[in-house]
Amino acid sequence: MQKSKAYDYLIIGSGLFGSVFAHEAHKRGKKCLVIEKRNHLGGNVYCEDVDGINVHTYGAHIFHTNDKGIWEYVNQFATFNRYINTPLAHYKGKLYNLPFNMNTFYQMWGLTTPEAVQAKIQEQIAQMNIGAPSNLEEQALKLVGPDIYETLIKGYTEKQWGRKATALPAFIIKRLPLRFTFDNNYFNDTYQGIPIGGYNKIIEGLLTGIACKTGVDYFEDRHYWDSLAEKTVYTGKIDEYFGYEFGKLDYRSLKFEQERLEIPNYQGAAVMNYTDAAVPFTRIIEHKHFEFGEQSHTIITKEYATEWTPGAEPYYPVNDRQNDALAKKYKTLADTLNEKVLFGGRLAEYRYYDMHQVIGSALVKVKHEFNPG
Ligand SMILES: Cc1cc2nc3c(=O)[nH]c(=O)nc-3n(C[C@H](O)[C@H](O)[C@H](O)COP(=O)(O)OP(=O)(O)OC[C@H]3O[C@@H](n4cnc5c(N)ncnc54)[C@H](O)[C@@H]3O)c2cc1C
């Protein structure tokens, strides 16, 4: 049958989901058009080159996965360096290693053996005498006791959520992993690193040979854009796609304050969390350390967690019961459009996805689309 439209797929959004889908469709001989409302491609993994330093414009991004297939997939487009995420916590002028491990416990209590640390934590938990926790604070105290909670969890969590820990539900923290080894590697995954040259290399590789338009908001003329392609892949906000028919989903947002400093090294680490509630930002990122940069200048970004209001960037879905129920209603509606529109990615699925997970989700969609059954 003769096709009447210029493209097989219109892909709305050039983040990892849209770019992986476009790449795989293009590889299979499909004509794709990617439209992106920002003035650059790449979604939240976009990096800006500031005099040789790749600045993670939308927050620090560290790639990690246990999935060999996904690791090989991204390695087609960039070589990864040996960066291992070893963040620090800054609390009232003292530094602690994260995640909670023997280094952290040594810094906190001067204890040198796992046995002594385990006994200390058990003693602290017992002192609190908490039955069924009724909020996040009680849950955390029951899991790790007051010293770790007050120093490393309370202030940071309250800043992230913009609410007191006693007003947050207990289920937000299911587990607080404690490591009784001297191991500062934040992730347990087999594969980890930062693409040399930044994430833009991966996006450029994925989108080679594909028509892309930036600075274009699909909703400004959705009928026109729909008319160009046989099928749509939508990676924007799912509630917005349906005109907020059932109501608005909630998000958490972020504010970034970037500074250029004419010194070679500001904090000696890429990621420093500020766990004291009195410090307004949650962390400082020093971007050059992701790629072992040796420039004479440095770029730091202070990250603030903020309330999401319409128009702000929706960074994190709020996966509580109310929002998940609302997202499910939209998903049911989305499923009825399956023949014409595919929904995917963190905004369209309303799920917090790490990069490897969003690539995995796109590859599953690709499989269903091109090899059904
Ligand atoms: C602060 C922060 C830190 C993170 N750190 C890590 C990390 O360390 N490791 C990790 O693995 N993952 C991390 N992630 C997660 C990672 O960013 C996501 O998994 C990934 O970027 C999601 O890709 P996506 O394509 O689903 O969404 P996005 O990257 O958001 O792409 C969606 C795109 O669609 C565009 N769009 C939306 N609506 C429209 C419209 N109407 N018209 C046109 N275009 C539209 C948007 O502008 C955007 O570019 C982090 C996320 C955040 C927010």
Burial of 245 (0-12, 13-18, 19+ CB in 10 A): exposed
Q: How far is the CA of 346 from the centre of ligand 1 (A)?
A: 7
Asked whether 56 lines ligand 1 (CB < 6 A), one says no
Asked whether 43 lines ligand 1 (CB < 6 A), one says yes
Instruction: Name which residue sits closest to atom 2 of ligand 1, judged by CA.
Output: 59
- Is 48 contained in some domain? yes
The alpha carbon dihedral of 60, 64, 69, 75 has a sign of positive
Which of 11, 57, 61, 228 has most ligand 1 atoms within 8 Å of its beta carbon, as the pocket-test mutant? 61
Q: How far is the CA of 355 from the centre of ligand 1 (A)?
A: 9
> Count of domains in the chain?
2
pLDDT tens for the 373 residues of the chain, in order: 456 899 999 999 999 999 999 999 999 999 999 999 999 999 999 999 999 999 999 999 999 999 999 999 999 999 999 999 999 999 999 999 999 999 999 999 999 999 999 999 999 999 999 999 999 999 999 999 999 999 999 999 999 999 999 999 898 888 899 999 999 999 999 999 999 999 999 999 999 999 999 999 999 999 999 999 999 999 999 999 999 999 999 999 999 999 999 999 999 999 999 999 999 999 999 999 999 999 999 999 999 999 999 889 999 998 888 999 999 999 999 999 989 999 999 999 999 999 999 999 999 999 999 987 6
* Distance of alpha carbon 339 from alpha carbon 105, whole angstroms: 55
Same domain as 230, residue 345 = yes
- Is 152 contained in some domain? yes
Asked whether 353 lines ligand 1 (CB < 6 A), one says yes
List, by residue number, the catalytic residues.
Answer: 175, 179, 252, 283, 303, 352, 354
- Is 199 contained in some domain? yes
Asked whether 59 lines ligand 1 (CB < 6 A), one says yes
- Is 306 contained in some domain? no
* Distance of alpha carbon 134 from alpha carbon 168, whole angstroms: 9
Same domain as 232, residue 117 = no
Q: Which domain holds residue 334?
A: 7-83+190-248+318-370
Atom of ligand 1 nearest to the CA of 345: 26
Instruction: Write down the pTM of the prediction.
Output: 0.96
Same domain as 55, residue 103 = no
Asked whether 355 lines ligand 1 (CB < 6 A), one says yes
Q: What CATH number did the domain enclosing 32 receive?
A: 3.40.50.720
Asked whether 212 lines ligand 1 (CB < 6 A), one says no
Pair of tokens at residue 195: 């693409």
**What's residue 2's pLDDT?**
57
- Is 364 contained in some domain? yes
User: Is the link from the previous residue into 195 a cis peptide, with omega within 30 of 0?
Assistant: no
Instruction: Name which residue sits closest to atom 21 of ligand 1, judged by CA.
Output: 44
Are 10 and 231 contacting, i.e. CB atoms less than 8 angstroms apart? Answer: yes
Same domain as 103, residue 77 = no
Same domain as 243, residue 126 = no
Asked whether 14 lines ligand 1 (CB < 6 A), one says yes
Asked whether 218 lines ligand 1 (CB < 6 A), one says yes
**What's residue 99's pLDDT?**
96
Same domain as 196, residue 231 = yes
Instruction: Name which residue sits closest to atom 17 of ligand 1, judged by CA.
Output: 44
**What's residue 173's pLDDT?**
87
3-state secondary structure of 199: coil
Same domain as 343, residue 243 = yes
Which of 85, 355, 359 has most ligand 1 atoms within 8 Å of its beta carbon, as the pocket-test mutant? 355
Instruction: Name which residue sits closest to atom 1 of ligand 1, judged by CA.
Output: 59
Atom of ligand 1 nearest to the CA of 357: 19
* Distance of alpha carbon 211 from alpha carbon 189, whole angstroms: 35
Adjacency order of strands within the sheet including 88-91: 94-97, 88-91, 271-274, 283-286, 298-307, 251-261, 316-317
Asked whether 36 lines ligand 1 (CB < 6 A), one says yes
Instruction: Name which residue sits closest to atom 26 of ligand 1, judged by CA.
Output: 345
Same domain as 216, residue 78 = yes
